[in-house]
Amino acid sequence: MGMAGYRLTNDAGSADVAIVTTCAFLNSAVAESERIIRQLLAIKRRRPGMKLVVAGCLVQRFRTHIRQRLAGVDLFVGLDAFIDIPKLLKNGETFTASFPPSRILTSRNPRLLSTPKHYAYLKIADGCNNHCTYCLIPGIRGSLRSRPVPDIIREAEDLARAGVKEIILIAQDTTAYGLDIYCRPALSRLLRKLSNINGIHWLRLMYTHPAHITDELIDEFSSNPKLCRYIDLPIQHISNRILRRMNRHYRRDDVEHLLARLRSIPDMRIRTTLITGFPAETRKEFNELLEFIKTSRFDRLGAYAYSAEPGTIASQMRNQIPEPVKQERLKELMQVQARISRRNLQHLRGRKLTVLMDAADTGRTEWDAPEIDGVVNLPETAKTGTYITALVTNTRTYDIVGRPVRARN
């Protein structure tokens, strides 16, 4: 693929230019990004002609001192300027980042899929206005900036033409989509328009905010056959005191009410994310969370030990919880969830499900997002990227075992 005279390779040992796209919203992500950059700096010392470019959130987060932090990198590029990298290199620039970022990639920018060709992530907005006290993202990626509907549709049509069947909508808060440019929530309208695209069979919604789920969106789950009966709804905690300290803008009874409404949709599955060991979380509050998990029986659940990110309000709060306690609570919570997940999946035995094949012997139902949720393992092979109907013959803690009944398309 040609691009301003460059050809893409994934072999850093022979590349003229190596680009590291970084994540930096958690200390662990910073450490991982810097580990890879240092590996490339070692290659660059052996091949001094190679240019090393560091792009993305790490540059936004450490913009004032990143050049000292990572000496030897040729060019640092913030979130706005990916597309300008060839020009910046040609001009001998060493740093460019605007804060807050003002641009967002559009369908006019070339896109190379890094996912299997039958599914793709589609970014509908960037930035966030929510200001959760533990989160650096608004400080790194700026305020909400939604892409106009026609621009998203154009990109989705291109993806469909390239063979994509499942589109996964992402943003920092997908349910805030449109508030900035249309002055009202516009996600349901966008979903309806996306579902008119031929070739797209599944639309999957990630990263919603419990305070921003509208009646219209709940109706969309009931009425739009292309919208997966799956919602990623990170609640983070359930204690009112902790939710207030997190600045999450909802209370326990709001969550309970919302879950009841979502569960009234036939075959709906709910994924959530939780944080253990938020500053000043008492054992009693953690027990409240555990009990809530036991009664709510989420279908999918991810949890993280709280990470104090310098620059956040939460990192300045008193009564930070010791790391071993955070980890112990995380382990306890995931043990409870493992039992719930195992029992939830057992109810599927004997059912026939539609499965999208991600590999010859592995697929997913509409209730599973790629890479984070479970899979369907098949003893026989089927064509990657096709939908099949599978009979559930066995279930494990997070995964299903199935037998193909017939291919759908």
* Residue 72 β-bridge partners: none
> Is the CB of 139 or the CB of 163 nearer to ligand SF4?
139
Query: Cβ of 342: how many Cβ atoms within 10 Å?
Result: 13
Minimum CB distance to ligand SF4, residue 241 (Å): 18
Sheet holding 17-22, edge to edge: 17-22, 51-56, 75-77, 95-96
Interacting residues with ligand SF4 (CB under 6 A)? 128, 130-132, 135, 137-138, 172-173, 209
CA atoms within 13 A on the CB side of 360: 3
Closest CA to 147 of 112, 113, 122: 122
Query: Any idea how long the chain is?
Result: 409
> Is the CB of 135 or the CB of 156 nearer to ligand SF4?
135
> Is the CB of 96 or the CB of 143 nearer to ligand SF4?
143
Minimum CB distance to ligand SF4, residue 128 (Å): 3
> Is the CB of 240 or the CB of 393 nearer to ligand SF4?
240
Structure-block tokens of residue 20? 């590291």
Minimum CB distance to ligand SF4, residue 238 (Å): 16
Minimum CB distance to ligand SF4, residue 236 (Å): 8
Minimum CB distance to ligand SF4, residue 258 (Å): 16
> Is the CB of 129 or the CB of 381 nearer to ligand SF4?
129
Closest CA to 307 of 321, 289, 328: 321
> Is the CB of 26 or the CB of 334 nearer to ligand SF4?
26
Please state at what angle helix 215-223 crosses helix 252-263, rounded to 10 degrees: 20
Minimum CB distance to ligand SF4, residue 216 (Å): 20
**269-276 and 202-205: which strand pairing?**
unpaired
Report helix, strand or coil for 38.
Answer: helix
